[in-house]
Amino acid sequence: MTESGAPRAKDEQAQADGTAQVAPPGSTRAWRRLLPPLVLAALALTLTLPGIGQGGFRHSDASRHAMDGVFVHDFVQDLPRSAANPMDYTLGYYAQYPALGIILYYPPFFALVEAVFFAVFGISPFTARLTVVFFAAVAAVGGYRLLKSLFDPRVAFVAVALFLSLPLVVFWSRQTMLEMPTAAMVLASIWFFHRYVDLDRRRSALWTGVFVVLAVMTKQPALFVLPAFALYALARRKWGIFRHWQLYAALALIAAVLVPYFFLTFRYARYLTATVFTPASGAGGAKAASELLGRFASVITSWEQALGPWLLWPCLACGLVCLVWEIVRPRWSGTHLLALLVACYLVQSALLGARVGRYVFIILPVLVTFPPLLLTRLDLLRRAPVLAAACAGVAVAAVVSFLQPINVMTGHQQAIAELVRRNGGNKLVLFEGYWDGDAVFFARQADPKRHLYVLRGSKLLYSYASFPGSHQVVRVQSHQDVRDLIRSCGIQAVAVESRDVYADNKNSGDPLIQVRRMLREVLQDTERFELIASSRIHTRADRGDGADRLDGADVLVYAVRDPVQPQADDLIIPMTGLQLAIRVPLKNNSPPTLVKLPLKDGP
């Protein structure tokens, strides 16, 4: 391989090497250098800001990501009390707001940044989504700087603009999801790695370690950069980089953070990791190879469904042509780096069974670089008509993305606010419905003094690990059991979605559907329960996650007519995927404790 950017003009190479003279502020040269990343950042904001203040959360994971940020916000707010016994504090917090995924399920970095935004702008879905918009701007600037250094400004601008303008990117960047933050941190880690290996910037090794940690601590699939970096460093044969202490300090940092994190994940979330990490079976070479090939095909199919064949296959084809061309006639060693990143991410996705279409998001900035890179190798992109055509294509994608329907759901916030207002200072409320994470978030938002305990039907009446049918346990068998459970816990207010979305497409004999139906039937007893509020659910845009089936349903809020104090001594809140439960004393102020919860095999 040749040095990165060998055929550049001298001023471009000097800028990449850091030897160019810095243009004075306000000079034309400085503005020419700053304008492209500023335009890209403006494009990111223009496409991702619309509608972020409308409605509640837009994906079942989004409320968990938001509640993780609220947890960090409250933990800091409660210092030093929270730090005196962080385990008790965390258990107590989850008992109150059972919609957390931080640490063992979702890494904490996004929540840490989100907590800062909550502290500045207040706790709301708008603020949670604004955090993602911030990362979109970071990805725009960081992606441009990376690709400009690897290749040239035209490739960088067209590739990043295309990435930001894709409907898939805009769709998920308008939600409180981790794909855009992870992509931003991955791009930053690649940038500093390139500076260390290709440009001999020793301090960049330390920053590479920092941003690898931040990327993985945003979302675990970012781990793919490590094998890609290792393979590229070996292929470059610049053995001198292995003599620098900064490299080993970076590796020590990565090991010090990631090894304990993944140990804890595999140790305490064994079921969760087992459902995701499913490598090819070792029951035979031919069978294992066939299974692995099937997984590769499934991953590619999911990418094709997410991006469309019109985008995925040209990107892959351009990447293959660029790689072969680079091998035959070396020009930009960065081509090898991008190819290794795509290959490692594809292999990791196949081994982990990551067949969800949106997961292609993380590698998408790399994939969309190949078409403009090939045009540059053909010496076409620098021609004004070709560059104008490329920019026009990006503009069309941007307009389509800007005009795509903004998926919005409303109804839960109003109902939960009324539930809190009409609860009369009682400690416990119960919510049963598909969108229980939203209910937990809005209860916390409406109760700044944090007095409430929000009980989920999927914790109190039944439980399962990660998804229905997995190690599920049903805790009530009859209408009387439901009434007795409400009475024993001293629950004085209950909110339910009037429609069970699972009942639309599942056998009516499903035990979980029966339990949910029993609760709704019990609440129809006007002698025991009073309907005190109702809020209509409105959804816009089909997200394919079941939420659209709630459109036109209601969130119904009931009050118990003759409430009593808790009869049970303790409340058990299961965390089935972790094989643990939280025991919450109901009759005194003792702190919650952890108890072992053996998994039940099968439904």
Mark 295-333 as b/e (b = at least 16 C-beta within 10 Å): beeebbebbbebbeeebbeebbebbeebbebbeeeebbb
What would the two tokens of residue 334 be? 């960065």
Say what the pLDDT of residue 600 is.
54
Is the model's pLDDT at 204 over the cut of 60?
yes
Is the model's pLDDT at 391 over the cut of 50?
yes
Is the model's pLDDT at 432 over the cut of 90?
yes
Distance CA 246, CA 203 (A): 7
Say what the pLDDT of residue 260 is.
94
For residue 556, give the H/E element and its range.
Answer: strand 554-560
Q: For the residues 465-477, what does the mean pLDDT come to?
A: 72
What would the two tokens of residue 123 be? 């706790």
Say what the pLDDT of residue 575 is.
81
The answer to whether the predicted template modeling score (pTM) of the entire model surpasses 0.75 is yes
Q: For the residues 135-140, what does the mean pLDDT come to?
A: 98
pLDDT, tens digit, for every residue of 508-551? Answer: 678 888 899 999 999 999 999 999 999 999 887 655 556 677 88
- 388: phi then psi, degrees, rounded to nearest 5: -65, -40
Lowest-pLDDT choice from 69-73, 173-177, 289-293? 289-293
Q: For the residues 480-501, what does the mean pLDDT come to?
A: 90
Q: Where are the domains of the chain?
A: 12-17+24-403, 408-596
* CA nearest to 213, candidates 236, 239, 185: 185
Structure confidence at residue 12 as a pLDDT band (50, 70, 90): very low
Distance CA 410, CA 497 (A): 13
Is the distance from CB of 10 to CB of 17 less than 8 angstroms? no
DSSP bridge pairs for 410:
538
Q: For the residues 8-20, what does the mean pLDDT come to?
A: 46
Say what the pLDDT of residue 370 is.
98
Lowest-pLDDT choice from 7-11, 51-55, 132-136, 480-484? 7-11
Say what the pLDDT of residue 46 is.
97
Structure confidence at residue 506 as a pLDDT band (50, 70, 90): low
Say what the pLDDT of residue 475 is.
87
